[in-house]
């Protein structure tokens, strides 16, 4: 009756079923160890761009001094940024493409870690980057300081363009928070986890985004090489840390964390560095991963209990301990059946993990009240539309946004009604309308 099979099956069977269940939910778990450790996590550190936000950046504002036009500034910036791998570069290049601006040739390109980039265009040296870059070159912000502060408070990222002596202009870039990010943060907090946003953006931009999703702890203006150090600091305080990120800069931090979680749409090196990959690039899946880990560990403990229970009761019974006292004895047939039953019980209990459902699913469905096939609707009041051409223009630019199903413009009431198959922020809708030359009132 004494058989180690049940004990041997207790852990690997639960891990195997749990890993399979994770894959069904779009959660790729690379090792059993990461699935086991995830339940001990008490601190979640999340990168901003591309993780909390969509990572689909767009240019919202362009300001210049009197020596250069907006188009010329955009031309210079796009010419240099075409050599950059930074996510913000895509927004600038896209804006230049929309305006059909022809790019020039850039030479001596150099990425300045955590500061920006520099290059020569038409034999002139230009710098593109953040305030720290200008400070390091002793270039004054002048009239652009107040503008940059205002933009940062709105959650936009100000990018400065300067030559060797002065700031030529400022380009503001915004990114949209993913629809489920706020829900994911709430779920983490319900689970008793501390949530921290980690970003290289300036404090004002970072705090503006943090307010939108109710994150209280923000670590901003972190250089790429210092993200790993921030994780190490938290671990030195005795915290078990999960790092969620998507970029090349996040890779060292993902490796350093107790559990590294990569966004599926992120870079190859981030995915390679992580222990868990969220295939759908949804932060809610990180919540599911930790809940799944809790369920697996609970199941393993149950399996071990049943395995020990059978042996603790069965071995003395088979050995005849109770025969002299109670007259109990066990035939070999029943002993063999009990031995098999112990293994079957453990396997069946592990298979119950196939019924695992994240606790968040029902809550979110009730909260959003959106069933499959339902459409969301938003109405914006837009000023400046006067004719059929204006109507067609607004309908065209809004319809181009991913997730927009239909756009109706009423010139008389100035209302723009947008029907969507997924949640799109009002800021995103407003930005494309403003870029088209109209004013969003409400």
Give the residue from 367, 387, 404 where a domain finishes: 367
Angstrom distance (rounded) from CA 182 to CA 287: 12
Confidence band of 285 (pLDDT split at 50, 70, 90): very high
pLDDT at 263 > cutoff 50: yes
Pick the closest to residue 210 from 248, 265, 153 (CA basis): 153
The pLDDT of residue 373: 46
- Structure tokens belonging to residue 252: 């060292």
- Which pLDDT score is estimated for 375? 57
CB 361 within 8 A of CB 370: no
CA-CA distances (angstroms) from residue 190 to 42, 185, 186, 296, 380?
Answer: 12, 9, 6, 20, 34
**166/187 same-domain check:** no
More confident residue, 324 or 42: 42
In this structure, are 78 and 130 located in the same domain?
yes
Confidence at residue 200, expressed as pLDDT on a 0 to 100 scale: 86
Domain that holds residue 231: 1-55+180-367
Which CATH number fits the domain that encloses residue 34? 3.40.50.1000
Q: Is residue 388 scored above 70 in pLDDT? A: yes
Rounded Cα distance between 405 and 10, Å, is 50
How far is 89 from 363, CA to CA, in rounded Å? 38
| Statement to judge: residues 91 and 163 lie in one domain | yes
* 36 confidence band (pLDDT: 50, 70, 90): very high
**284 pLDDT above the threshold of 90:** yes
CB-count burial class (<10 Å; 0-12, 13-18, 19+) for 329: exposed
Q: What CATH code is carried by the domain that includes residue 400?
A: 3.30.70.100
User: For the chain, how many structural domains are there in total?
Assistant: 3
For the domain that residue 115 is a member of, what is the CATH number?
3.40.1110.10
pLDDT at 328: 72
Q: Is there a single domain that holds both residue 274 and residue 399?
A: no
Answer yes or no: do 239 and 297 share one domain: yes
Q: How many CB atoms lie within 10 A of CB 245?
A: 30
Final residue of a structural domain among 121, 154, 174: 174
Residue 313 is predicted with a pLDDT of 75
Taking the C-alpha atoms of residue 186 and residue 207, their distance in angstroms, rounded to an integer, is: 17
Query: Which residue numbers are catalytic?
Result: 47
Supply the pLDDT for residue 442: 59
Tell whether the model's pLDDT for residue 372 goes beyond 60: no
Same domain, 98 and 24: no
Question: Which has the closest alpha carbon to 220: 291, 140, 130, 300?
Answer: 130
Same domain, 76 and 168: yes
Q: Which two tokens stand for residue 215?
A: 């994150």
Asked if the model's pLDDT at residue 411 lies above 60, the reply is yes
- Say yes or no: 89 and 209 in one domain: no
- In contact, 270 and 279? CB cutoff 8 Å: no
44 and 149 assigned to the same domain: no
- Closest Cα to residue 184, out of 324, 280, 40? 280
Query: What pLDDT is recorded for position 2?
Result: 61
Q: d(Cα 270, Cα 260) in Å, to the nearest integer?
A: 9
Number of H helices, E strands in the chain: 17, 17
Q: Is the pLDDT of residue 403 over 90?
A: no
Q: Among candidates 96, 97, 100, which has minimal Cα distance to 76?
A: 96
62 and 21 assigned to the same domain: no
Average pLDDT of the chain is 88
Residue 363 has pLDDT above 70, yes or no: no
Each residue's pLDDT tens digit, 90-118: 889 989 988 899 999 999 999 888 789 99
Same domain, 51 and 111: no
Last-in-domain residue among 147, 174, 201 = 174
37 and 66 housed in the same domain:
no
């Amino acid at each position: 009756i004494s058989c180690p099979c049940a004990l041997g099956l207790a852990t690997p069977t639960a891990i195997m079923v749990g890993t399979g269940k994770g894959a069904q939910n779009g959660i790729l778990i690379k090792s059993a160890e990461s699935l086991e450790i995830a339940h001990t996590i008490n601190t979640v550190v999340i990168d901003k761009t591309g993780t909390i936000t969509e990572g689909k950046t767009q240019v919202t504002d362009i300001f210049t001094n009197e020596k250069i036009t907006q188009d010329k500034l955009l031309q210079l910036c796009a010419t240099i940024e075409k050599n950059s791998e930074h996510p913000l570069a895509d927004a600038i290049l896209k804006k230049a493409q929309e305006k059909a601006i022809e790019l020039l040739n850039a030479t001596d390109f150099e990425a300045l870690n955590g500061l920006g980039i520099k290059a020569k265009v038409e034999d002139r040296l230009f710098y593109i980057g953040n305030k720290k870059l200008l400070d390091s070159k002793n270039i004054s912000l002048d009239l652009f300081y107040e503008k940059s502060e205002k933009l940062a408070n709105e959650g936009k990222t100000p990018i400065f363009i300067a030559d060797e002596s002065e700031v030529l202009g400022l380009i503001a870039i915004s990114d949209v928070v993913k629809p489920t990010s706020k829900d994911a943060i709430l779920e983490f907090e319900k689970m008793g986890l501390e949530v921290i946003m980690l970003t290289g953006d300036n404090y004002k931009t970072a705090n503006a985004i943090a307010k939108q999703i109710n994150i209280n702890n923000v670590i901003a203006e972190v250089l790429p090489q210092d993200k790993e150090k921030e994780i190490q600091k938290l671990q030195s305080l005795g915290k078990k840390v999960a790092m969620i990120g998507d970029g090349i800069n996040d890779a060292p931090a993902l490796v350093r964390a107790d559990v590294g979680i990569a966004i599926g749409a992120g870079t190859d090196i981030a995915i390679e560095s992580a222990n868990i990959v969220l295939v759908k690039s949804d932060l809610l899946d990180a919540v599911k991963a930790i809940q799944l880990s809790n369920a697996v560990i609970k199941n393993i403990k149950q399996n071990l209990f049943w395995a020990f229970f059978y042996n603790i009761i069965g071995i003395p019974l088979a050995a005849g301990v109770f025969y002299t006292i109670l007259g109990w004895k066990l035939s070999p047939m029943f002993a063999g059946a009990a031995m098999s039953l112990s293994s079957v019980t453990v396997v069946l209990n592990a298979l119950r993990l196939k019924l695992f459902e994240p606790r968040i699913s029902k809550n979110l469905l009730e909260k959003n009240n959106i069933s499959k096939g339902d459409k969301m609707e938003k109405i914006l009041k837009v000023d400046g539309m006067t004719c059929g051409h204006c109507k067609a223009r607004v309908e065209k630019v809004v319809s181009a946004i991913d997730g927009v199903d239909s756009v109706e413009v009423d010139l008389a009431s100035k209302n723009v009604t947008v029907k969507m198959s997924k949640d799109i922020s009002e800021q995103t809708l407003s930005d494309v309308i403003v870029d088209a030359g109209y004013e969003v009132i409400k």
